[in-house]
Amino acid sequence: MAASVSERITLTERIKERALALGFDLARVTTAAPLPTAERALKDRIRAGLMDGLDWFTEARAEVSCDPRALLPGARSVIALATFYLTDAPRDETAPGDPHGQLSCYAWGEDYHEVIRKRLDALAGFIRALAPPGDEKSIVFVDTGRMVDRAIAARSGLGWYGKNTNILTKRWGSWVFLSELVTSLDLEPDAPLGASCGRCEICLHACPTNAFVAPYVLDNRRCISYLTIELRGSIPLELRPLIGNRIFGCDVCQEVCPVNRVAEARLRAHEDNGEMAARPRLEFRPRETVGSSPALIPLLALTEDEFRERFRHSPVKRAKRRGLLRNVCVALGNLRDPIAVPALERTLREEPEALVRGHAAWAMGQIGGARARAALTDAAAHDTDATVRQEARAALAEG
């Protein structure tokens, strides 16, 4: 039997209240209707090669991810949720003689997939208990790629599309993780916000690698987030100097955003006032074993087991050891601190992964000096891997 309008509104409100009580910072609702504009945009990007490198991001996947009913037959509503993750911590602790790398803020704390998944499951349990027996089905998503998180967030009015492609919320800027609960329940939908970035284009010009082709259009292949997290192979030579000391993700297009600055100021003010509700979530504070800006040289010595131990329950594990150490080499090359040469030399000689040895060679070419040149000359002649020999030769030519 269909619920009356007032029953539907009451049910929707109760679910939103519960979502906030469970730790979500924003909750809105949209229908389970397909998202044809998003589907078109996704397919255009794929055809233009702008999603290259993410092999799973296919046109067939775009079709499914833009149709909640393909994900849950019988779906009628989608609850869009945002979780604020920014916390106050030093973003870059580099000093002469003590090189550090920057981790993107979203990766400082516990793995958000795990944290949010638990809250989504709890919300699903709550909804199940409210619905008439047999009348409720639901499915939850957090960043799986199976659902277009940002298109759902925009339609529900959780936030609006920033020109840097991130969803901006009024209260928390874009410093939020997005997630959804798709349900067969008929809930009261919210309207989109009708807000926009206006004429502001600061983020588009601030990107270190010039990854924005146009407002709302990112070239995945140039994004530092892609290069340091998703890319499994070698980082293109011409992009390495632009990455700076970012070793996992990049926040530049968010850091420069005026809306985000307001959210950050609010965070600081709330912290000073001691207001609980606006306090940064403890789970996203830097983990003891990782920090917000780890010292780089010790990372080069991490074994596979140590990597797994140190980054267990951290989003950083996604880069895998070889990806992270590759990024550490690039960061050390960009910082050009000669203190790193002995560690890089050891890496070039003893590291089992050719990918990492190759990037260590590049780093030594950037730092230069007699000791680096000697190690590079040796690697150019004797390394067992042709790509490493080539990297060493190129680094010698550069120095």
Closest CA to 218 of 262, 390, 227: 227
**At its nearest, how many Å lie between ligand B12 and the CB of residue 170?**
12
Closest CA to 164 of 52, 261, 254, 264: 254
The three-class DSSP label of residue 375 is: helix
Decide whether 93 or 230 has the Cβ nearer to ligand B12. Answer: 230
Which position among 161, 284, 307, 311 is part of the footprint of ligand B12 (CB under 6 A)? Answer: 161
Enumerate the active-site residues. 143
Closest CA to 257 of 179, 191, 178, 161: 161
Number of residues written out for the chain: 399
The three-class DSSP label of residue 281 is: coil
Distance, in Å, from the CA atom of 289 to the CA atom of 384, rounded to the nearest integer, reads 34
Distance, in Å, from the CA atom of 192 to the CA atom of 157, rounded to the nearest integer, reads 4
Binding window for ligand B12 (CB under 6 A); candidates: 10-18, 243-251, 258-266, 307-315: 243-251
Decide whether 223 or 235 has the Cβ nearer to ligand B12. Answer: 223
**At its nearest, how many Å lie between ligand B12 and the CB of residue 66?**
8
Distance, in Å, from the CA atom of 368 to the CA atom of 364, rounded to the nearest integer, reads 6
Q: Does residue 319 belong to the site contacting ligand B12 (CB under 6 A)? A: no
**At its nearest, how many Å lie between ligand B12 and the CB of residue 69?**
17
Q: Does residue 45 belong to the site contacting ligand B12 (CB under 6 A)? A: yes
Distance, in Å, from the CA atom of 132 to the CA atom of 144, rounded to the nearest integer, reads 29
x/- string (CB under 6 A) for ligand B12, residues 89-118? ---------------x-x------------
Whether the CB-CB separation of 235 and 84 falls below 8 Å is answered with no
Distance, in Å, from the CA atom of 155 to the CA atom of 108, rounded to the nearest integer, reads 29
Whether the CB-CB separation of 166 and 175 falls below 8 Å is answered with no
Q: Does residue 167 belong to the site contacting ligand B12 (CB under 6 A)? A: yes
Decide whether 160 or 307 has the Cβ nearer to ligand B12. Answer: 160
Distance, in Å, from the CA atom of 261 to the CA atom of 267, rounded to the nearest integer, reads 10
x/- string (CB under 6 A) for ligand B12, residues 120-159? ----------------------xxxx-xxxxx--------
Which position among 19, 42, 299, 344 is part of the footprint of ligand B12 (CB under 6 A)? Answer: 42
Which position among 94, 102, 166, 245 is part of the footprint of ligand B12 (CB under 6 A)? Answer: 166
**At its nearest, how many Å lie between ligand B12 and the CB of residue 274?**
27
Question: In the Cβ-directed half-sphere of 16, how many Cα atoms lie within 13 Å?
Answer: 19
Q: Does residue 164 belong to the site contacting ligand B12 (CB under 6 A)? A: yes
Which position among 58, 165, 234, 390 is part of the footprint of ligand B12 (CB under 6 A)? Answer: 165
Residues that bind ligand B12 (CB under 6 A): 38, 41-42, 45, 54, 104, 106, 142-145, 147-151, 161, 164-167, 174, 176-179, 216, 218, 220, 223, 225-226, 229-230, 249-251, 253
